[in-house]
Amino acid sequence: MSQNVREALLTLLAGRSGPVVQMGFGLHAGRAVQGTIGWQPKIDATYVSEPVEWAEFLESSTKKYGLQMLMSDSFHRLLHPNSRRR
């Protein structure tokens, strides 16, 4: 990384409020099919199903609404009653 790029990045981050790393979580429950993609040197697991797409949608919506976590009713119903209240 060139010095100019590094300085520009540090300047950008210095003016930002809050933490540099922000994470959002989309929680949904349902069935999925696991498969592998790639080849021998690099094989990754992937999951495919409508519930996986819902979890991805919820995760992306955390950015839109400025939240750290969104969960579906399917996930919420699986929680212990004490956890649901929180």
Q: CA torsion, points 48, 51, 53, 54, in degrees to nearest 10?
A: -170
Strand pairing category for 25-27 and 69-71: parallel
pTM for the whole structure: 0.67
- The pLDDT tens digits of the residues spanning 48-85 come to 899 999 999 999 999 999 999 999 999 999 999 999 88
User: Where does the chain have alpha helices with state H?
Assistant: 3-14, 50-65, 73-76, 81-85
For residue 45, give the 3-state DSSP assignment. Answer: strand
Report whether 28 contacts 20 (CB < 8 A).
no
β-bridge mates for residue 61, sequence order: none
Higher pLDDT, 15 or 28: 28
pLDDT, tens digit, for every residue of 27-41?
A: 999 999 999 888 888
